[in-house]
A = this chain, B = another copy of it.
Amino acid sequence: MLNVESPTSSSLGPAATPPSHVRARTGIWFVGARGSVATTATVGLLAVQRGLAPTDGLVSELPDVAAADLAPLADLVVGGHDVATHTVAEQAAHLARSGVLPFGLPEQLAAELADVEGRIRPGIGAGVPQREAADRLIADLAAFRDEHGLDRVVVVDVSSTEPPVTPSPALDDLATLEAELDGGGSPLPLSSLYAYAAFRAGCPLAAFTPSTGPACGALDALARELGLPWAGRDGKTGETLVKSALAPLFGRRALRVNSWTAMNILGGGDGQTLSDPEAAKSKTTTKGLTVSEILGYPVEGPVRIDYVADQGDWKTAWDHISFSGFLGTRMTMQFTWQGADSALAAPLVLDLVRLLDRAHEAGQAGPLAALGFFFKEPLAGTTHALDEQWHTLVDWIGELPARRTTAGAASAPAPTAQPVQPEQPMQPTP
């Protein structure tokens, strides 16, 4: 059901932008740029820029987070990689038909979407020598930055979920990895190849999928070496989000959770990918951890994701929680969550871009524990409890140094020179 009538008109109107000659502009580079999440984020960003939509759903517009002095939405430019043959506009039209985007909106943004389409480059598939592939990806990123005069490009991986990956020395160790790449090998899962290229191109990275991506020893080392922040893993948008808000209730009230069963049905592109049980394994693994981690003891219960084509771009989750209290009395709670997955994910992607952009500007590198709030599997050791993640995020924002350049007004040269950065990031390796 659309809420065509509800947006408070007062919150609309074209986003105010400072004069363009002093602007520090930020690029968003989507891996999977024609997928549902990227398309929804793109349409939403364009709609906000054009004053056609309010900023509901954007965490980065809440006063506590906006306090970080983030890049204005008006200054973000979208490009990306994809292997799909349809256009972003076609995907947007599809999403409007299934109610994820307001009816008619894609048509209103046809010109802008065509511009975005023109900034999408062919992605990389399996089975190609990965040194050359990486070089091409890096060159694409550099070209995007140069052509649009961007100060910084943040890469966001929103491509299809990969099956879990077998450990290997090349994933663990950067030198081994470089040697294998030089030797004509293809040692990386694609998500990690994109992460490698992002880092080599000097770009912060958000790993929005459950795939390996930057979450391995070799790439973590690379990011630190190059002074690049990154965040991951697997956007927390539905059932896991609810779990992370509810599980602390049981813990703090000393109610013992005996079992927590989680059943999910979803359609769409992501659902189709996850109907392959191997790919789903990545997802159910990141989803299953939450409750036990929060409560501090193992909690029984299956976590299922099933593909139901009819759900389209919607996801329905049913959770059944059995718990016991005083004198062992047994009770239950159940919930159903009916969400438009991409509509939940899209604003988070924009939030992550703005926060990573700011972290980079502030000189931070490596996985950012402070962004655990956004992820099912918060890397870098933070808790899964949503409220603690929130407080960590707000505290981190409070401790950020003031911007060296006013957001959206970079008169000085962009902060490309990171002290710890030993290599030239934007040069394709020979």
Contacts and interface: CB of A to CB of B under 8 A. Distances in A.
Interface of A: 1-7, 40, 43-44, 47, 53-59, 61-62, 97-105, 241-242, 245-246, 248-249, 252-256, 258-259, 261, 263, 265, 300-302, 304, 306-312, 314, 316, 318, 320, 322, 324-340, 343-344, 346-347, 373, 386-388, 390
Nearest to A94: B5
Given A304-B304, A325-B57, A327-B44, A265 B254 contact: no
Contact of A346 (B47, B56, B326, B347): B326
B316 A344 contact: no
Copies of this protein in the complex: 4
B326 A331 contact: no
Given A252-B386, A334-B335, A100 B329 contact: yes
10 contacts: A4-B328, A7-B328, A102-B328, A242-B246, A254-B347, A259-B308, A300-B309, A318-B320, A331-B338, A331-B344
Main secondary structure of the interface of A (DSSP, over half): mixed
Nearest to A334: B336
Interface pairs A-B: 8 shortest CB-CB: A3-B328, A57-B326, A387-B387, A329-B343, A335-B335, A259-B310, A57-B325, A245-B249
B102 A57 contact: no
A265 B306 contact: no
A3 B330 contact: yes
B105 A4 contact: no
A263 B318 contact: yes
B322 A105 contact: no
Contacts of A304: 263, 304, 306
A407 B367 CA distance: 46
A39 to B, nearest CB: 12
Nearest to A389: B252
A241 B245 contact: no
Contacts of A318: 263, 318, 320, 334
B301 A325 contact: no
A247 to B, nearest CB: 9
Nearest to A345: B326
Contacts of A246: 242, 245-246
Contact of A99 (B58, B99, B373): B99
B390 A252 contact: yes
A39 B349 CA distance: 42
B57 A258 contact: no
A373 to B, nearest CB: 8
Contact of A310 (B104, B265, B322): B322
A216 to B, nearest CB: 29
Among A55, A62, A310, A386, max chain B CB count under 10 A is at A310
A316 B332 CA distance: 10
Contact of A245 (B102, B105, B248): B248
A254 B53 contact: no
A253 B310 contact: no
Nearest to A275: B302
Contacts of A97: 2, 4-5
Contacts of A55: 254
